Amino acid sequence: MPNRIDSTFARLRATRQKAFVAYVAAGDPDFSRSLEVIRALADGGADIIELGLPFSDPLADGIVNQLAAERALLAGMTTARSLELIREFRQTHQTPIVLFTYLNPVFTYGFEAFHRDAAAAGADGILLLDLPPDEAALNPELALGAGLKHIRLIAPSTPPARVKLLAQSAEGFIYALSRAGVTGAHDAPSANLDVLISSIKAHTAVPVCVGFGITTPEQAAMVAAVADGVIVGSAIVKQIQLNPDNPAAAVRAFTAPLIAATKAP
């Protein structure tokens, strides 16, 4: 069976559309409402869902996503329950899912076992924030992960030689940061995105999606004009924080204009 990420980008290329990628934390604010949120995102037109595994020490995340992870952990979410969430989602939807996580929860679960079980649950890709590909190559047990596309992260500050290394080892799509720093909506995307994207595309045919700091339809349209996809995370997570009683409705209403702007010709 073709990977859902690859199939999605093939469909988008054929229709000359850009991808809308939405991030939420698994289990935020609890299992059932989190399931409602990701179903709402899929029904609302999100092309790919990034699902963050709740972790107690998310160093690359800003305060909004840190609090989301804390809410999920307090609600009883674990790595195993996150995979159960994906299994439940797969009962009704085929939207690709990328797991956004740190090495610690995956290593604790068992690197090979996690990849196997996550793929079996219905995940399609994984972005390991703190496991560079050259470091993984030095550890035989970290070379056993099969079944998930390995998404690479590239920042504006990444040196050219490293951009080449990361781009050439990327699968599914590349997550290009619109700016340096942690996740969050405190700064708008850089006006020099086209330079970063061109430097990445010089080394790969893998689609390049841009995230960090995208909060408005205008910003989404600006990014969609130069990238293969638009990634929105903290701004969506904030809607869950502000609307705990019915986060799915709030998320769907908030993302509708962003998705429309991403898809606009």
Cα separation, 44 vs 178, whole angstroms: 24
Catalytic-role residue among 28, 47, 50, 88: 50
- Per-residue DSSP letter, 49: E
Q: Is residue 141 annotated as a catalytic residue, yes or no?
A: no
Chain mean position to CA 1? 22
Please state the length of the chain: 265
Q: What is the identity of the amino acid at 22?
A: A
User: 82 exposed, middle or buried (CB, 10 Å; 0-12, 13-18, 19+)?
Assistant: buried
Residue 113: left if φ>0, alpha if ψ -120 to 50, beta else—which one?
alpha
Catalytic-role residue among 61, 88, 124, 228: 61
Q: Is residue 61 annotated as a catalytic residue, yes or no?
A: yes
CA angle, 30 as apex, 28 and 36 as ends, to 5°?
80
The b/e string for 132-151 (b: 16+ C-beta within 10 A; e otherwise) is: beeebeeeeebeebebbbbb
Residues recognised as catalytic? 50, 61
